[in-house]
Amino acid sequence: MPMKAIAICGSPRADGNTQILLKRCLDHFKSTGFATSYRSVGSELVKPCIACGKCSQMKNRTCVIRDDAFPSIFNEMLDSDIIIVGSPVYFGSATPNLMALLDRAGYVSRANGNLLSRKLGGPLVVARRAGHNFTFAQLVYWFMINDMVVPGSTYWNIAFGRKAGEVTEDEEGVATIDRFAENLLWLAQKLRS
Ligand SMILES: Cc1cc2nc3c(=O)[nH]c(=O)nc-3n(C[C@H](O)[C@H](O)[C@H](O)COP(=O)(O)O)c2cc1C
């Protein structure tokens, strides 16, 4: 069975900078035989966690809110060996839809014995000018508290760009993301052998 990787994009811009970098990572994974999936929550409805605690009571690996994009993306996350997420920086933060998805995914996982434990992955973020590090840290925190394994790269996984496509001009940013993807692959292959 091939290993699986999912990339989840928090940008509403199709063909935007975040999508470009996430798809670049998926191309690395595909070239070594991974099954890959790309999902965007930038313009899809993802309702926020309502702290109802039903996931802890039911323990059936689901969230009671089921009329939005969450269930299908969460199931794909559970099926994946690698989970990467990307967000543009919006006022020094990750986008609300992405955080709504991650809040609920993390809560359902933790209510069911840590379903995300030891999955590999990590975040990447894009901004025009500033706020990268806050947003990168915000997303790394999510991976860490969910018992996941995040490799490093030659810099933090950040890149610069404003207009869609501009990120490709940030050579160091692109090289950092490429190395991050390579390190994920290296780790996945070591763990499998
Ligand atoms: C609502 C909003 C808030 C933004 N806030 C910031 C910010 O805090 N810092 C920054 O450098 N860029 C900010 N930007 C610019 C985006 O991060 C930048 O254009 C990024 O490349 C968009 O990524 P995308 O093409 O994947 O959507 C903001 C853009 C929007 C629409």
pLDDT computed for residue 6 by the predictor: 98
Q: Please tell me the distance between residue 121's alpha carbon and the centre of ligand 1 in angstroms.
A: 23
Domain coverage including residue 163:
4-192
Q: Please tell me the distance between residue 128's alpha carbon and the centre of ligand 1 in angstroms.
A: 6
pLDDT computed for residue 58 by the predictor: 96
pLDDT computed for residue 193 by the predictor: 77
First-to-last alpha carbon distance for the chain, in angstroms, is: 14
Domain count, the chain: 1
Q: For 158, left (φ over 0), alpha (ψ -120 to 50), or beta?
A: beta
pLDDT computed for residue 1 by the predictor: 87
The dihedrals phi and psi of 180, each to the nearest 5 degrees, come to -60, -45
pLDDT computed for residue 152 by the predictor: 98
Q: Which ranges constitute the DSSP H helices of the chain?
A: 17-31, 54-58, 70-79, 96-111, 132-145, 171-192
CA 76 to chain centre: 12
> In the numeric block, which tokens belong to residue 68?
């939005």
Alpha-carbon distance values, 184 to 35, 58, 130, 171 (Å): 14, 34, 26, 20
User: Mean pLDDT per 10-residue run, the chain (193 residues)?
Assistant: 96 97 98 97 94 97 96 98 98 98 98 98 98 98 98 98 98 98 97 86
> In the numeric block, which tokens belong to residue 28?
């690395």
Cα–Cα distance for residue pair 109/133, rounded to 1 Å? 26
Residues with CB under 6 A from ligand 1: 11, 13, 16-18, 88-92, 126-131, 161-162, 164
Mutation to probe ligand 1, out of 162, 169, 174, 177 (largest number of atoms < 8 A from CB): 162
Which CATH number fits the domain that encloses residue 39? 3.40.50.360
Dihedral over alpha carbons 57, 62, 68, 73 (to 10 degrees): 150
